[in-house]
Amino acid sequence: MDAKQYFQDLVKRQKSGSDEGVCSICSANAYVIEAAMEFGRDTNRVVLIEATANQVNQFGGYTGMQPADFAAYVQTLAERVGLPQTQLILGGDHLGPLTWSAEPEAEAMAKAEVLIDAFVRAGFRKIHLDTSMRLGNDPTDLPLTDETIAARAARLCAVAERAAKPGEEPVYVVGSEVPVPGGATENEDTLAITPPENLDATLAAFRTAFHEKGLDRAFSRVIAAVVQPGVEFADNTIIIYDAQKARRLTDHAKTLPFILEGHSTDYQPAGALHAMRKDGIAILKVGPALTFALREALFALESMEKDLYVYSPAGGYSRFSDVLEQKLMQQPKYWERYYHGSEGDLAFARRYSLSDRCRYYLEEDVIKESIQRLIANIDAKTLPFGLTSQYFPAQKEAILARGGRADAAWLIKERVRDVIKTYYEG
């Protein structure tokens, strides 16, 4: 759909007092994306799917997909689900030198330019320009200045403008106080909320940097700023949005010509999400909470599998949780920086951490084979309502609405859909 028109209309409605917002789905998992698309199809809502620079880049990212691959993949899922193209928007999250931040500026920014070019050419129309991180040759004893962050972002914006087809220019999200992708690496109790004066200084620096590169028209398409409104999650903590604590920021933001984008909104209760939308934080990004729900569903199905088969089924048990644990132990690079404590603490976190680092392993062949075996074993049986009610109690009414019938894929996606619904309640 026309992303520019959609977001500019969203900004106008917000500035007129609407509490409307959009949930940004930051996941590459097919079950998660299909769940979001089915929800959008059934409720006639726009579906915003975003890929991060770590997930998808010119080298494949951890999904093995380049931007054009991811775009084609999402389009295929939309066709399968029956989501009209007029309801689908693709976005790029944390686009910049993040993935190569250990490299010197020259090398990191050159790769970031290729990244931005590839995303825009592949049809991504919402671009988060993220240059908030230090690069390899930046001083480590001083924070980056707004001017440095803005100049680097303007450089990348110029690439995006050149790559865009006429009439398909992207909208932009900017900011200098950008939460860490995927949640914090340490459990925290409090957060420093972005002061209004910091937001003003950041926006002034971006406006100047864009102007100096002849990008005034591009700056007119900045539809949101990333801030820290006091929301975060980590391994075992959730900092819930407090509207009163964020009041100075959100009241000031309502006087600006764009909306706010909230990152790390995972696990926020529906009331907090509604308060954020009401306060002008109208783009709400979520990722790990969705794959956490997916993992919950898979663990529940594995328990059902054991109850359904007193003796091993013909193809064997799926052993999903064991297979997942083995893969995490074989390749610890995606979780070891996030989890801390004793061996018992680490084992618990690998299964149940809110950071949900196991999402990085779901596309591994051995994991996919285990999931396929699990689904086949579940779907080979007629599921008694008493069993589905035991392991999927929150989905009980939805199951009854289907006449008590349920299959494995539907149960997985319904668990995920219930998370997505909270972003639109209130």
Distance CA 278, CA 426 (A): 10
Asked whether residue 398 carries a pLDDT value surpassing 60, the answer given is yes
Domain-terminating residue out of 242, 263, 286 = 286
In a shared domain, residues 249 and 342: no
Domain-terminating residue out of 223, 251, 286 = 286
Asked whether residue 155 carries a pLDDT value surpassing 60, the answer given is yes
In a shared domain, residues 238 and 328: no
Q: Give the model confidence (pLDDT) of 296-322 as tens digits.
A: 999 999 999 999 999 999 999 999 999
Q: Examine residue 399 and state whether it is found in any structural domain, yes or no.
A: yes
| Mean pLDDT of the 220-227 span | 98
Predicted confidence band at 1 (pLDDT cuts at 50, 70, 90)?
confident
Domain total of the chain = 2
In a shared domain, residues 29 and 62: yes
| Mean pLDDT of the 236-251 span | 97
In a shared domain, residues 110 and 208: yes
Give the pLDDT of residue 190: 74
Give the pLDDT of residue 178: 77
In a shared domain, residues 347 and 277: no
Q: Give the model confidence (pLDDT) of 329-375 as tens digits.
A: 999 999 999 999 999 999 999 999 999 999 999 999 999 999 999 99
Alpha helices of 127-195 — where are they, by DSSP H? 146-163
362 burial type by CB count under 10 A (0-12 exposed, 13-18 middle, 19+ buried): buried
In a shared domain, residues 122 and 261: yes
Closest CA to 74 of 141, 134, 125: 125
Q: Examine residue 426 and state whether it is found in any structural domain, yes or no.
A: no
Q: Give the model confidence (pLDDT) of 262-299 as tens digits.
A: 999 999 999 999 999 999 999 999 999 999 999 999 99
CATH number of the domain bearing residue 134: 3.20.20.70
Asked whether residue 181 carries a pLDDT value surpassing 90, the answer given is no
In a shared domain, residues 24 and 135: yes
Residue span of the structural domain in which 375 resides: 291-416
Q: Give the model confidence (pLDDT) of 85-110 as tens digits.
A: 999 999 999 999 999 999 999 999 99
In a shared domain, residues 257 and 310: no
Q: Examine residue 216 and state whether it is found in any structural domain, yes or no.
A: yes
Q: Which residue has the tokens 């028109």?
A: 5
Q: Which amino acid is it at 134?
A: R
Domain-terminating residue out of 286, 317, 342 = 286
CA 134, 140, 143 angle in degrees (round to 5)?
Answer: 65
In a shared domain, residues 15 and 163: yes
In a shared domain, residues 382 and 262: no
Q: Examine residue 422 and state whether it is found in any structural domain, yes or no.
A: no
Asked whether residue 180 carries a pLDDT value surpassing 80, the answer given is no
Asked whether residue 189 carries a pLDDT value surpassing 80, the answer given is no
Q: Examine residue 421 and state whether it is found in any structural domain, yes or no.
A: no
Q: Examine residue 425 and state whether it is found in any structural domain, yes or no.
A: no
| β-pair partners for 261 | 226, 283
Q: Examine residue 31 and state whether it is found in any structural domain, yes or no.
A: yes
Give the pLDDT of residue 185: 53
Give the pLDDT of residue 186: 57
Q: Which pTM was predicted? A: 0.96
Residue 411 three-state SS: helix
Q: Are strands 22-25 and 232-233 parallel, antiparallel or unpaired?
A: unpaired
Q: Give the model confidence (pLDDT) of 11-68 as tens digits.
A: 999 999 999 999 999 999 999 999 999 999 999 999 999 999 999 999 999 999 999 9
Give the pLDDT of residue 184: 52
Whole-Å CA distances, 172 to 175, 258, 312: 10, 11, 53
Predicted confidence band at 177 (pLDDT cuts at 50, 70, 90)?
confident
In a shared domain, residues 274 and 307: no
Q: Examine residue 94 and state whether it is found in any structural domain, yes or no.
A: yes
In a shared domain, residues 298 and 201: no
CATH number of the domain bearing residue 313: 1.10.400.20
**How much helix, strand and coil, in percent to the nearest 5, is found in the chain?**
50, 10, 35
